[in-house]
Structure 1
Amino acid sequence: MEERKQKSLSDKILYAVFWLICIFFIASFLFIVIIFTGNMHYTSMLVTGVMVLYLYYLFYLFNFFTTKKRKQWVLGVMGMALVISAITPVKKIYENNIPTVDAELNVWDYQPFMEPLKIATLEEESTFKITEDLPRLDGATALYPLYASFAQAVYPEKTYEPYSSEVMVNTTPDAYNNLIQGKVDMIFVAGPSKGQINHAKRNGMELKLTPIGREAFVFFVHQKNEVDELSLQQIQDIYSGSINNWQDVGGSDDSIRAFQRPEGSGSQTALENLMGEIPLMEAPTEDIVSGMGGIIEEVAQYKNYKNAIGYTFRFYSNEMVKNDQIKLLNINGIAPTIENIRNNQYPIASEFYLVTTNTDNPHVDEFIEWILSPQGQELVEKTGYVPMIE
């Protein structure tokens, strides 16, 4: 009898070790998947779940559940542990479901000669055409529909893929880098940051800026935010960290989550220009997946929290995204409308530019002249921007 008990105990220990090894390998595989997909927030739930399952198996194997009360007590503790471990991933899932301002944008819809056309077109044939040695174009996402319409009017009909053709679209920092490195001839962007000007100088280049239209720099909040307008001073106070509660600017008692954009982007440069000598507060950051599953920290993308504030350019928020979950704020009591940009009433309207440098393309100067002509400026207006000429 004693021998049989010892054998039974040995078998149970053997089973426990076997399943421990199995669970270890399964958990290791799941952990590797979590790392490479960047879902680190699931780690605590994975570890807790594995421990709970294994402990339950051990309790069952060694006949710990001799009474119903004991079993209920153990299951209650395990359930509580699982609930606590699920708090972080559930919060992350909720945050991931909060929309971003640019979540609906698809640049492929704005390609030249792509049916159905989403870009502006001229009613008559363009007075200027280029058939060979096409200037290579690049620029900010918000301006892609505009310079794609220029290409539609001037370039020969063919496929111009957004990331690998003579008519590309990249972020503002990438467009400036491509111009300085000689990969493109012309870029369509907001004005350069100090860093981009210095980058050009270090490469022996001078950036030549040609204003081709006007646009409003806008601030937006959640549609249900009680605040409808801010003064320039209040914006500066928010982004310097002096004001951190909506109650201080006429809203409800809630902290302000002031998002920023990556360094060198057109809208971030616009904010820096607006702040002047006032130092910016530290931007909210988030961990994102890098190459091979590595995690790096980057400026957090705008999420439409009820206490959030962000900024962009008017056309991008109104025309390209059409996000009905946000509202644009009036600044100093003035709404960011086309009319208020045109008559210089809106206080933070500015030019956007066609930027060139040391290019030897023979058509660049003629192309710039055409863009500033009535036909080019007609496309600026039809796209939704304010032209330089009436």
Structure 2
Amino acid sequence: MKLFGRIASLAGFTLLVSFFAVPIGLTLLFGGHAEWMPILIGGFIGFIVIVGMSIFNVKRRAVFYGVPIAIVLIGCVVAVPALYKLTKPVVATSDVDLYDYAPNKPGTKAVELGRPASFRIEQDVPIIDGATALYPVYAAFAQAVYPKQDYDPYNSAVMSNRTGSAYENLLAGDVDIIFALGPSEAQRARASELGKELVLTPIGKEAFVFFVNKENPVNGLTQEELRDIYSGKVTNWKEVGGNRSKIRAFQRPADSGSQTALEEFMGDVPIMKAPTEEVADLMSGIITYVADYRNYDGAIGYTFRYYSESMIGNNNIRLLAVDGAEPTVETIRSGAYPITRELYAITARSDNPNVDAFIDWILSDEGQELVEKTGYVGINSAAD
């Protein structure tokens, strides 16, 4: 009877501990954190062994402490390969250096016509600003048309202060033209409050892209699956043909160009609230986070094709096909890639006498040639 009582006590204690351990285990297993399971199991068994030895009056200390400790250590060793991704340093990806694209700089990456432009501005040059991703193309416009001099990318007549700041500068009257995607609802409302009319002139096309770490086995998703992910309806990659791993859907701050593009893509589908640590300030930051080895099986982000492939060039991410179409110049041109966005020259009633003529030139064959040479698709470009 005494032995039976001890066995019953151990069984009861085991059931009590299981009451707490099983839900934790299921949460880890189905929540995309299965790498912790060997440690949980080892700890659970080790703890039960310690209690069992106490109940059965095991006196030898080497056994009393050694066996459960060994069990826990075995669990840790088994977990090491999976936990390695939680401790390996982030793959570094710095923001793009805009000085590489500055107009007239020796060795600049800003493309050239290869001949004198038919239109020139010698004085009253429009002050231009815009999105980081579009700086290479409007730097090329300025290089072809503006006086030959240095233009600092952050403080000159040809600068880039990122989308949100560029809109603020335009509405404040500090710049004449900005080059960006269309405004967010908040930016439109701000313009209306100030009595400003935003005039958007399409100058090119680009693909809005979603991307994962290159180790993620998912190569493509449908538009519906992408909306389900960013609405929070789908939370695990196994639901869309991937591994059993929790999805970490990174976002950008409100009023950034890519966040506005996501809002347009989602339409009436509400976007889930992203945890603070999953909101990337810089567009290069969202690429860095997804490229991070620790996120290889869980992260997804979004950006623009040219920026990710040509300006950042991080080989640790892979752009996803959408509805079976890869994001390429050819699929943007043909319309096969389903998520394209127009690139705009945007004004707000500038008094500069050269603004309209400059935009007309950008829409000319010469301006559109620079759009294509840079790596975007011309606004009037169509499939052959």
Q: Does 1:199 align with 2:190?
A: yes
Shift of 1:283: 1.4
Shift of 1:99: 3.6
1:264 equivalent among 231, 252, 255: 255
1:270-349 correspondence runs (5 A): 270-286=261-277, 301-302=285-286, 303-304=289-290, 305-306=295-296, 307-349=298-340
Partner of 1:172: 163
TM score, norm. by length of structure 1: 0.72
Partner of 2:235: 244
1:182-221 correspondence runs (5 A): 182-221=173-212
Letter in 2 for 1:149: A
SS in 2 for 1:286: helix
Q: What is the root-mean-square deviation of aligned Cα atoms in Å?
A: 2.0
Separation in 2 of the partners of 1:299 and 1:383? 25
Q: Is the 8 A contact 1:377 1:387 kept in 2?
A: yes
1:76-87 correspondence runs (5 A): none
Change (3 A) 1:130 1:240: same
Separation in 2 of the partners of 1:388 and 1:240? 31
Shift of 1:284: 2.8
Letter in 1 for 2:329: I
Moved over 2 A (4+): 91-100, 297-302
Per-residue CA distance 1:307-332 (angstroms, 9 max, x = gap): 11000011101111111100000000
Aligned length: 290
Q: Is the 8 A contact 2:209 2:304 kept in 1?
A: yes
Separation in 1 of the partners of 2:100 and 2:115? 23
Q: Is the 8 A contact 1:260 1:284 kept in 2?
A: no
Letter in 2 for 1:98: V
1:98 equivalent among 87, 91, 104: 91
SS in 2 for 1:324: coil
Partner of 2:105: 114
Separation in 2 of the partners of 1:108 and 1:195? 31
Partner of 2:129: 138
Shift of 1:94: 4.7
SS in 1 for 2:277: strand
Separation in 1 of the partners of 2:268 and 2:131? 26
Shift of 1:108: 1.1
SS in 2 for 1:212: strand
Q: Is the 8 A contact 1:283 1:299 kept in 2?
A: no
Separation in 1 of the partners of 2:88 and 2:133? 25
Shift of 1:350: 1.9
Structure 2 segments unaligned to the other structure (5+ residues): 1-83
Q: Is the 8 A contact 2:250 2:280 kept in 1?
A: no
SS in 2 for 1:165: coil
TM score, norm. by length of structure 2: 0.73
Partner of 2:354: 363
Separation in 2 of the partners of 1:313 and 1:235? 16
Shift of 1:96: 6.0
Letter in 2 for 1:111: A
Partner of 1:129: 120
Shift of 1:269: 0.5
Letter in 2 for 1:345: A
Q: Is the 8 A contact 1:258 1:284 kept in 2?
A: no
The answer to which of 235-244 and 301-310 deviates more is: 301-310
Per-residue CA distance 1:193-250 (angstroms, 9 max, x = gap): 0000010010000100000000000000000100000000000000000101111111
Shift of 1:389: 2.8
1:351 equivalent among 342, 346, 349: 342
Separation in 1 of the partners of 2:129 and 2:183? 14
Separation in 2 of the partners of 1:227 and 1:209? 37
SS in 1 for 2:212: strand
Structure 1 segments unaligned to the other structure (5+ residues): 1-90, 288-296
Q: Is the 8 A contact 1:163 1:170 kept in 2?
A: yes
Separation in 2 of the partners of 1:207 and 1:95? 47
Shift of 1:117: 2.0
Per-residue CA distance 1:120-149 (angstroms, 9 max, x = gap): 100210001011111000000000000000
Q: Is the 8 A contact 2:203 2:345 kept in 1?
A: yes
Letter in 2 for 1:161: D
Partner of 2:213: 222
Partner of 2:15: none
Identity %: 52
Shift of 1:285: 1.1
Per-residue CA distance 1:246-273 (angstroms, 9 max, x = gap): 1111110100000000100111001001
Q: Does 1:148 align with 2:148?
A: no
Separation in 2 of the partners of 1:299 and 1:283? 13
Separation in 2 of the partners of 1:114 and 1:187? 22
SS in 1 for 2:263: helix
Q: Is the 8 A contact 2:142 2:158 kept in 1?
A: yes
Letter in 2 for 1:179: L
